[in-house]
Structure 1
Amino acid sequence: MILTDLGLIGYAQAEAIQLETLERVTAGERGNTLFVLEHPRVITLGRQGGAENLHVDASFLAAQGIELARTARGGNITCHFPGQLVAYPIWRVEKRPGGMRKFFHDMEEAVIATCAAFGVETTRRPGHPGVWVDEMRKICSMGIGVRRWVTYHGLALNVGRDVSLFNMITLCGIQGARPTSLSAEAGHDITIKEVKHVFIREFRKAFADSALAADQTPQQ
């Protein structure tokens, strides 16, 4: 696995990097890659739509410096912002045991184990990809795209206490769903740096059957 920490990076720039990497992984010129990063404030719409779940108009978002982006990932509407850990695996799944169902399961497992490391118990919600604290409090959203059996896009784990950007949407299009975060659930502030370290470790464990390189260091 090639691990790259992109730091705080704009949504469009990160998507361009994903697509370039997607082509290289598909062509066999690069191994499976995991990007970890944060985004400035952006609201994204997935392939299943989501505009109907946006509570403000584009002009209001622009005035607040919040980007609105349509994406090729699955799922509905979600938000990204500093204080949220985003992970984009560019991953070959064609010959991976369990296919896409196992891929989602393992991404969820990495997040569940990460949250547990900070004393926060989380769970899956059948029919709704991602990770939840209970039936209505969501701590991590997931949505991917797939081209020629290689994935892109990924997951977003709320770490910091401020999840107010979600007030502008109906979270994932699910009425009554509410956002939460690691810091809120743990009852104390947790940094992105701390969570990155743990998440990368747990991702390696969850995807161990993909022959991850245990000594791979982040590329800057």
Structure 2
Amino acid sequence: MTLQNCKVIDLGTIEYGAAFQLQKEAVQEVMDDSGKARVYLLEHPPVYTIGRSGTEQNVLIGTQQMEELGISLFEVDRGGDVTYHGPGQLVGYPILPLDRFGNDVRRYIRMLEEVVIRMLSTYGIESGRIAGMSGVWVGNEKISAVGVKATPAKDGNRFISSHGFSLNVNPNMDHFSYIIPCGITDKGVTSMERLLHTEVSIDQVKQRWVKSFEEVFEATCKFAD
């Protein structure tokens, strides 16, 4: 089933807490009208977020050092462990009616991964999945993290997605060294610019991501004014 009314909203750079509140409001909107769909694209100021299966033990620095580095910390209601968001990283929060995809959260996660895989291929980056792990990988290095939440509607027959994905375009990679990303100790992280050895426009990445999203989700998207 296709998404015919998908609005893409480019928030620019926005604090994590403010974006989290926007997500909650959008979930209620889509819950009330399942014909709607929203995709927020944005960057965050530096922040570590810990998902439902995460632990602060995977954050390797204390509050004082985080303050010195200008990094905040949030515990959130998505799946997954600890991850980093910051300038130069594209973050996407699709707020979608998951009954269009059989209310199958694992299928939805695979679709989000597929969008990134296809988009990266337009830059000549060959990426894929690692069995038993979420996200998109280039070899043994993660370039895109995925963590989602599915909120049940009151009728119990539908779920609405929130949270989503992050894609390392050109973030400060040093900030990953202060955490155990996603709780995984034997894998690394990478970025598009590190792989391509050239500057990458995050605005261009947004456009290409939306095009791949339309292909994978059979969606018709329009950027909000």
Match of 2:19 in 1: 14
Deviation at 1:64, TM superposition (A): 2.1
1:128 aligned counterpart, secondary structure: coil
Please report the TM-score for the alignment, with normalisation by the length of structure 1.
Answer: 0.93
User: Residue type of the partner of 1:132?
Assistant: W
Please report the TM-score for the alignment, with normalisation by the length of structure 2.
Answer: 0.91
Structure 1 gap ranges (5+): none
The 1-side partners of 2:214 and 2:25 are apart by 23
User: Residue type of the partner of 1:219?
Assistant: A
2:125 aligned counterpart, secondary structure: coil
The 1-side partners of 2:22 and 2:93 are apart by 10
The 1-side partners of 2:209 and 2:55 are apart by 28
8 Å contact kept, 2:86–2:171 = no
Q: Indicate which of 13, 35, 60 corresponds to 1:55.
A: 60
In the TM superposition, what whole-angstrom CA distance separates every residue of 1:73-127 from its partner, at most 9, and x where no partner exists?
Answer: 1000000000000010101112424722221111011000111111110010111
8 Å contact kept, 1:132–1:140 = yes
Q: Indicate which of 110, 119, 128 corresponds to 1:123.
A: 128
8 Å contact kept, 2:87–2:171 = no
Match of 1:110 in 2: 115
Q: More displaced, 86-95 or 27-36?
A: 27-36
Alignment map for 1:63-78 (pairs within 5 Å):
63-78=68-83
In the TM superposition, what whole-angstrom CA distance separates every residue of 1:22-42 from its partner, at most 9, and x where no partner exists?
Answer: 011111176011110000000
Residue 145 (structure 1) aligned with residue 149 (structure 2): yes
Taking a change above 3 Å as real, the CA distance of residues 129 and 94 of structure 1, as seen in their structure-2 partners, is same
8 Å contact kept, 1:88–1:152 = yes
Q: More displaced, 118-127 or 28-37?
A: 28-37
Structure 2 gap ranges (5+): 1-5, 153-158
User: Residue type of the partner of 1:202?
Assistant: S
Deviation at 1:62, TM superposition (A): 1.7
Count of residues in Structure 1 that have an aligned counterpart in Structure 2: 214
8 Å contact kept, 1:161–1:189 = no
